[in-house]
Amino acid sequence: MDFNENNATEAVLNSFARIEDKRLKQIMNSIITHLHQVVKEVEPTEEEWMKAIMFLTKTGQKCDDRRQEFILLSDVLGVSMLLDAINNRKSNEETETTVLGPFHAPSVKINNGDNIAKTVSGENCIVSGKITDVNNQPVSGASIEVWQSGPDGLYDVQKGDDIVDLRATLETLDDGSYMFRTVKPQYYPIPVDGPVGDLLQNLDRHPFRPAHIHFMVKSKGYKDLVTHVFIDGDKYLESDTVFAVKKSLIRKLEHGIDDESKEKCLLLNFDIVMEKE
Amino acid sequence: MDFNENNATEAVLNSFARIEDKRLKQIMNSIITHLHQVVKEVEPTEEEWMKAIMFLTKTGQKCDDRRQEFILLSDVLGVSMLLDAINNRKSNEETETTVLGPFHAPSVKINNGDNIAKTVSGENCIVSGKITDVNNQPVSGASIEVWQSGPDGLYDVQKGDDIVDLRATLETLDDGSYMFRTVKPQYYPIPVDGPVGDLLQNLDRHPFRPAHIHFMVKSKGYKDLVTHVFIDGDKYLESDTVFAVKKSLIRKLEHGIDDESKEKCLLLNFDIVMEKE
């Protein structure tokens, strides 16, 4: 029988008959069923379909070693956060997770107390906290990878100069504590010079993310934790363009004195609770 | 409230509140609803999601002036044919439509009777027919664009030498008839040296399309018609990898004599019925 509106989905699902990998078959079945349903609901014109084809094409072509426009697309459509929710269902009192984002990159090792701001300047800030398990026991020797944008709103990898900045890996001490120096993070727009930026404009959505520092914490025997700490009072906490804010991850910046330089600085405390594997 | 599995779709749909273009809003609502449903049904791991991200990225990066890998993807997933069905609901006895395909390209004008095979050789074939309206009245002066692959299974644009071959535009005569010389089309694989080829392999599907010649017919006052003529007996008529075969478009090759050269040749008759706008 000829392929038509009524048998189209079935015809394509039938073409998957020889797939042996059950998981792949399940994924393809779900994608085809919903993709066809979108086409049936929306009834795109050939012109609209070509616009979609060109949008996806440009999104792929915007990607390179430093830029992942499809992850950005997944982020602004709430897909990354949905995936995060599904893959990190909370069972205990462990710290909540949030998106990895497109700016994770190779890091450099530092010692506790080091300053991760190498070339940028801004308001000095000391970030510290303690990593414990759900029974409040310290997790020593845990690896903490942190990365953030500078006061200009840019991550190092967006600058194209190969300098690793505002990005480092350190280890918790015996009592589970950690500390590093940096500059105060700022809210910033996601990169808008590509198809995702054009899309946000067409959707009449702003491109901003509230100020945050990314954390990826790993320790043997514990579940890897990917999260952010957000800064209380930021104007974009309620409308993060990638939907990644969770109230439990917001912390107040306090005013204090840096013990070493004896100068005024900001203090940000972020304790983390890890879950056993 | 925090973004979670239950409110995720609603949160993203709410972010579309300021879209003024109702059509855009309808399209985005449908895409987000079904995209999120796929994620909820499948529950992809972060690894699986990254595979999908990289597949889409590579598909975009495979595209250039001569290659449209996302159209190819749309074709092998039955989306192009579904779109064709929706946009060309038959109301009368007009010729059925089928996919445009990724190999449409600028053409050259020829006269009736000319040979469109410039550099390739194969079994000589005369293609002819008559274009009429649904009341069997001839449509004279209609523009007929034709394109096909050669005996090697390749279209001119796949060869990278800028030679226009097996591709031309001619006009119907006063009685609605047309005729051109060419070589017999062959079944061929769609391009498999990209992400779509890898996908077909993973899905254990062959990449072949049955032999055909593309037609795009236009005449003032009539609906543009995009279709193929398929060759009866081809081994891939039942399993075209882009789902484009319709029984009403299959024609038998007959044996005959070319009036001009007095040599044996194949004859392919394809009458076309156009619908008024």
CB contact under 8 A, A61 and B56: no
In CATH, what number is assigned to the domain containing residue A175? 2.60.130.10
Q: How confident is the model at residue B162 (pLDDT cuts 50, 70, 90)?
A: confident
Q: Which residue, B30, B29, B6, B5, is CA-closest to B16? A: B29
Q: In the predicted model, is pLDDT for residue B239 greater than 90?
A: yes
CB contact under 8 A, B70 and A56: yes
Q: Which of A53, A246, A248 sits opposite B74 (nearest CB)?
A: A53
CB contact under 8 A, A42 and B26: yes
Q: Which of A44, A45, A83 sits opposite B49 (nearest CB)?
A: A83
**Mean pLDDT, to the nearest integer, of A45-63?**
97
Q: How confident is the model at residue A65 (pLDDT cuts 50, 70, 90)?
A: confident
pLDDT the model gives residue B227: 97
Q: What is the pLDDT of residues B23-34, one digit of tens each?
A: 999 999 999 999
Residue A134 sits in the same domain as residue A174: yes
Q: How confident is the model at residue A124 (pLDDT cuts 50, 70, 90)?
A: very high
Terminus-to-terminus CA distance in chain A, angstroms? 53
Residue in B56, B75, B90, B241 to test binding to A, most A beta-carbons within 10 Å: B56
Instruction: Give A-chain residues touching B239 at CB under 8 angstroms.
Output: 15
Answer yes or no: are the C-beta atoms of A197 and A170 closer than 8 Å: no
From the CA atom positions of chain B, what is the Rg in Å?
A: 22
Instruction: Give A-chain residues touching B11 at CB under 8 angstroms.
Output: 78, 243
**Please, how many CA atoms are within 13 Å of residue A70, restricted to the half-sphere of its CB?**
21
Rounded to an integer, what is the distance from CA A162 to the centroid of its chain?
A: 21
Instruction: Give A-chain residues touching B57 at CB under 8 angstroms.
Output: 60, 63, 68-70
Residue A98 sits in the same domain as residue A217: yes
A56, closest residue in chain B (CA to CA): B60
Instruction: Give B-chain residues touching A19 at CB under 8 angstroms.
Output: 202-204
Q: Output DSSP code: residue B156.
A: G
CB contact under 8 A, A8 and B85: yes
pLDDT the model gives residue B1: 73
Q: Which residues of B114-132 are buried (b: 16+ CB within 10 A; e: fewer)?
A: eebbeebebebbbbbbbbb
Residue A34 sits in the same domain as residue A151: no
Residue A22 sits in the same domain as residue A149: no
**What integer best gives the mean pLDDT of chain B?**
95
pLDDT the model gives residue B83: 96
Is residue A60 situated within a structural domain? no
pLDDT the model gives residue B65: 84
> What is the pairing mode between strands A124-133 and B272-274?
unpaired
Domain boundaries, position A158? 74-274
- Structural domain count, chain A: 2
Residue B123 sits in the same domain as residue B209: yes
Residue A101 sits in the same domain as residue A20: no
Residue A210 sits in the same domain as residue A153: yes
CB contact under 8 A, A59 and B58: no
Q: Which of A16, A30, A244 sits opposite B42 (nearest CB)?
A: A30
Residue B145 sits in the same domain as residue B23: no
**Please, how many CA atoms are within 13 Å of residue A128, restricted to the half-sphere of its CB?**
16
Residue B81 sits in the same domain as residue B196: yes
Residue B81 sits in the same domain as residue B166: yes
B70, closest residue in chain A (CA to CA): A53
Q: Which of B38, B100, B204 sits opposite A18 (nearest CB)?
A: B204
Rounded to an integer, what is the distance from CA B56 to the centroid of its chain?
A: 21
CB contact under 8 A, A32 and B56: no
pLDDT the model gives residue B249: 97
Q: Which of B35, B39, B58 sits opposite A86 (nearest CB)?
A: B39
Q: Which residue, B25, B1, B269, B223, is CA-closest to B125? A: B269
Q: Which of B9, B31, B85 sits opposite A38 (nearest CB)?
A: B31
How many cross-chain Cβ pairs, A to B, lie less than 8 Å apart? 199
Is residue A151 situated within a structural domain? yes
Residue A119 sits in the same domain as residue A250: yes
CB contact under 8 A, B32 and A77: yes
CA distance A105 to chain B (A): 15
pLDDT the model gives residue A161: 84
CA distances from B264 to A166, B117, B252, B256 (A): 77, 17, 17, 6
CA distance B14 to chain A (A): 11
CA distance A274 to chain B (A): 19
Q: What's the predicted TM-score (pTM) here?
A: 0.91
**Mean pLDDT, to the nearest integer, of B89-117?**
92
Is residue A20 situated within a structural domain? yes
Residue B108 sits in the same domain as residue B155: yes
